[in-house]
Chain A
Amino acid sequence: MNELIFSYDTGEEMVLNMGPHHPSTHGVLRFIIKTDGEIMREATPVVGYLHRAIEKIAEGIPYESLMPYVDRIDYVAAMTADHCWALAVEKLLGHEVPERAEYLRVIAGELNRISSHAICVGVMAMDIGAVTPFPYLLRPREAINDLLEELCGNRLTYNYLRVGGVSHDAPAGWVDKTRKFIDGFDNLLPELDRLITDNEIFIDRTANICAVTPEEAAAHGLVGPNLRASGVDFDVRRDLPYSVYKELDFDVAVGSGAMGTLGDCWDRFWLRCEEMKQSARIVRQCLEQLPEGPIYNKPKKIRPTGEAWARVESARGDMFCYVVGNGTPQPERAHFRTGSYNAMQIVKLKSRGVMVADLVALIASLDVIAPEIDR
């Protein structure tokens, strides 16, 4: 605590506290910042304010009952987090999922990815000072929330996936409604580019800021959009395909340093805009190919032994789940490693020598969600 008092005796350096309650820290995040005027010497993240002991809870409740908890690991993209847990348990059981359920999972997950990226992109623009894109992007998010509410009854933490399928089938007319939304959404993205992505002031504020090299990104364990923005061409959906991604046609966007250095804040921003386009493409294909049939293959007994891991491409990147069974209805051990966790680690390294205002751009561009770090 004493460190937080301005330390005049160290010359020009000053130690400041940013957060845990700060409008641009995306949840309950805290940084201890050493600054020399506007130049930052180091920002040390302090995490754990949202630790909910989900891994400890998992050891006491049945496999299928953990699903609502998993929602809360990543509340902005709960559908993809659900998918990770369902996939891990199904792999452990060797359980088959009906094809229609797989398609519904992918549709719901990709819609959720669009809404999560919309929040990330909008919030990043707002943190940097452009307020207009945020409410602009809340419109598609609102529409997606309505669609998902119609599908599963919830707007934020869905609890939609089950071990062996999904909880509800698409209601009558839902497919057409979703297709209509995607058609409208495709028109929105070029407008977004004109509004903010190609905006000169925005580029000045984000290009060449906190660039992460491909080697650094891999060694520090950056995943998903942050990794691809640094030029590493890896996407779990394409390279370790799960669910029905093998049958779908989509491109994986990779950062190129188009406005400055490879892996800078602008690359991460642009990459998420591209991913929204690809997600829209995936949703459209799934809606066309959506087969008829059952949606839930209920496992008779969930009492697995052995161990398994699963990886999915969550909105915040490669989400990893490790589950060990011991023959009882409760898992022996469940572990989650999420995208924000790794993204937060690199903040200390990347914050050296940048302006204080650029720290805000860095956190926003890494798309850090606090409960995902703390679980």
Chain B
Amino acid sequence: MDIEKIHQKLQAHFGEAVILGLTAAEEGIRDPFITVAGSRIDKVCLFCRVEPDLALDFCQSITGMDTGETLTCVYHLYSYSKRHTLVLKCTTPRSEPHLPTCTTVWPAADWYEREVYDLFGVVFDGHPDLRRLLLPDDWPGHPMLKDWKEQPFYTPIVGPDHSPLQLKIPTTRENPLDLLDTETEQA
């Protein structure tokens, strides 16, 4: 099933208040996607999985993106039986990023959502075990946000009695991202 038909089907079931629009491949975008209202993303995902015509049983990836005022979550889905792909996008305000969880739809979403929480700070309501995945538990901030800066000190290492060891290791090197001058482009 191609993306226009999927879009029509979703819109017929959920209405325009939930299915916000289809960005087609022509508009400078190589792969089309459907924008969904963030608060209903779990319902849309569940429909995509159980509806026999869609049968999107493989959640390839859930990832975040820093889009300024909002944070965007991108869901890449694939169907093994129907052999079609669907890309869903939803946004959540940066000041209070909350989205419903999809772990009940695909168990694979567990770690995907933990990673998005870890790196972007999006809170997935209803997630059974929302902890940091890749970074240490005491890491301050969410480093994939565009305004994140490398800290002048590493977080002190916690000792066996849960007190911070009096060790502060300075990061004397400069932030490698600052070294790159984006103006020096070579055609």
- Which of A57, A300, A320, A333 sits near B61, CB closer than 8 Å? A320
- Residues of A near B22 (CB, < 8 A) are none
- Residues of A near B58 (CB, < 8 A) are 218, 221
Q: Tell me how far the C-beta of A31 lies from the nearest C-beta in chain B, rounded to whole angstroms.
A: 15
A306 at the interface (CB under 8 A from B): yes
Return the chain A residue nearest B60 by Cβ.
A320
**By DSSP majority rule, is chain A's interface helix, strand, loop, or mixed?**
mixed
Interface residues on A, range: 35 or more
Return the chain B residue nearest A321 by Cβ.
B61
B4 at the interface (CB under 8 A from A): no
Query: Is there an interface contact between B80 and A234, defined as CB atoms closer than 8 Å?
Result: yes
| Contact flag A308-B80 (CB < 8 Å), given A48-B134, A61-B180 | no
Query: Is there an interface contact between A307 and B134, defined as CB atoms closer than 8 Å?
Result: no
Query: Is there an interface contact between A322 and B133, defined as CB atoms closer than 8 Å?
Result: no
Query: Is there an interface contact between A337 and B61, defined as CB atoms closer than 8 Å?
Result: yes
B39 at the interface (CB under 8 A from A): no
Contact with B along A283-294 (1 / 0, CB 8 A): 000000000000
Contact with A along B48-85 (1 / 0, CB 8 A): 00000000011111010110000000101000100100
A345 to B114, CA, bound (A): 12
| Contact flag A322-B80 (CB < 8 Å), given A55-B144, A56-B143, A219-B106 | no
Q: Flag the segment in B9-17, B27-35, B164-172 that touches A.
A: B27-35
Most central of A92, A306, A311 by chain B CB within 10 Å? A306
- Residues of A near B61 (CB, < 8 A) are 320, 322, 335, 337
Return the chain B residue nearest A48 by Cβ.
B134
- Which of B31, B182, B187 sits near A301, CB closer than 8 Å? B187
B140 at the interface (CB under 8 A from A): no
A239 at the interface (CB under 8 A from B): yes
A60 at the interface (CB under 8 A from B): yes
- Residues of A near B135 (CB, < 8 A) are 48, 51
Contact with B along A210-224 (1 / 0, CB 8 A): 000000001111000
Query: Is there an interface contact between A345 and B30, defined as CB atoms closer than 8 Å?
Result: no
| Contact flag A48-B80 (CB < 8 Å), given A218-B58, A219-B57 | no
Query: Is there an interface contact between A47 and B133, defined as CB atoms closer than 8 Å?
Result: yes
B111 at the interface (CB under 8 A from A): yes
A1 at the interface (CB under 8 A from B): yes
Q: Tell me how far the C-beta of B59 lies from the nearest C-beta in chain A, rounded to whole angstroms.
A: 6
Return the chain B residue nearest A301 by Cβ.
B187
Contact with A along B121-147 (1 / 0, CB 8 A): 000000000001111100000011010
Query: Is there an interface contact between B80 and A218, defined as CB atoms closer than 8 Å?
Result: yes
Q: Flag the segment in A119-127, A140-148, A171-179, A324-332 that touches B.
A: A324-332
- Residues of A near B3 (CB, < 8 A) are none
A220 to B57, CA, bound (A): 10
Query: Is there an interface contact between A308 and B60, defined as CB atoms closer than 8 Å?
Result: no
Contact with B along A329-343 (1 / 0, CB 8 A): 110110101000110
- Residues of B near A332 (CB, < 8 A) are 65
- Which of B57, B63, B83, B107 sits near A322, CB closer than 8 Å? B63
Contact with A along B98-117 (1 / 0, CB 8 A): 00000000111011100000
Query: Is there an interface contact between B31 and A307, defined as CB atoms closer than 8 Å?
Result: yes
- Residues of B near A239 (CB, < 8 A) are 83
Contact with B along A110-136 (1 / 0, CB 8 A): 000000000000000000000000000
A contact residues vs B (CB 8 Å cutoff): 1, 47-48, 51, 53, 55-57, 59-61, 91-92, 94, 218-221, 232, 234, 239-240, 300-301, 305-309, 311, 318, 320, 322, 324, 328-330, 332-333, 335, 337, 341-342, 344-345, 349, 374-375
With A55-B119, A301-B187 given, name 6 new contacts (CB 8 A): A1-B162, A220-B108, A308-B31, A309-B76, A329-B182, A342-B111
- Give the top 4 A-B pairs by smallest Cβ distance, nearest first: A221-B108, A308-B30, A60-B177, A337-B61
24 examples of A-B residue contacts, CB within 8 angstroms: A1-B162, A47-B133, A56-B177, A60-B180, A218-B57, A218-B58, A220-B108, A221-B106, A306-B29, A307-B29, A307-B30, A308-B31, A309-B76, A320-B61, A320-B76, A329-B182, A329-B185, A330-B182, A332-B65, A333-B63, A333-B65, A333-B66, A337-B60, A375-B134
B contact residues vs A (CB 8 Å cutoff): 27-31, 33, 57-61, 63, 65-66, 74, 76, 80, 83, 87, 106-108, 110-112, 119, 132-136, 143-144, 146, 160, 162, 176-177, 180, 182, 185, 187
